[in-house]
Amino acid sequence: MKRMCLAIAIAAGLLPTAACTGGRSVFAYSAETGGNVKRGKDLIVHYDCGSCHSIPGIREARGLVGPPLILMGRRTYIAGEVPNTPDNLVKWLMDPKSIESGTAMPKLGLSEDQARDISAYLYTLQSRSWNKGVWNGGGQ
């Protein structure tokens, strides 16, 4: 009986840490990037990230080349390769090919501070709330 209780307790403890949840994260990241959300949004516009990505909260960002960045703050992995952590997202933004050699994502020449600012904005994207084509989630 003790073994069964122990097995159930261990299984219950592992359940929230399951890595694969059908493409959905089980919790929202509240990542601390050290970046500035407003500057991140401005940099996304400046570097024209919306020419490839659809990015909530950025009117010009309607690209279809790269994946839409909706719910970026809730994703489990970056590029399907590394866990979605602030340090990994900064590294991805600075040098995408260092994480996924075959990616079409270009190296934009971002400084670490710029990548942290963009990361801060992307981590605000944790909601699916749309109203008449206007984003009502994070990143406003």
pLDDT bucket at 140, cuts 50 / 70 / 90: very low
Question: How many angstroms separate the Cα of 70 from the Cα of each of 26, 43, 77, 114, 130?
Answer: 16, 17, 14, 20, 11
- Asked if residue 136 has pLDDT above 50, the reply is no
Least confident of 54-68, 84-98, 125-139: 125-139
User: Percent of the chain, pLDDT > 90?
Assistant: 58
pTM over the 0.85 mark: no
Interval 43-87: pLDDT, tens: 999 999 999 999 999 998 999 999 999 999 889 999 999 999 999
The domain ranges of the chain are: 23-135
Of 30, 21, 25, the closest CA to residue 86 belongs to 30
- Note the CATH number of domain 23-135: 2.60.40.420
Of 105, 74, 76, the closest CA to residue 92 belongs to 105
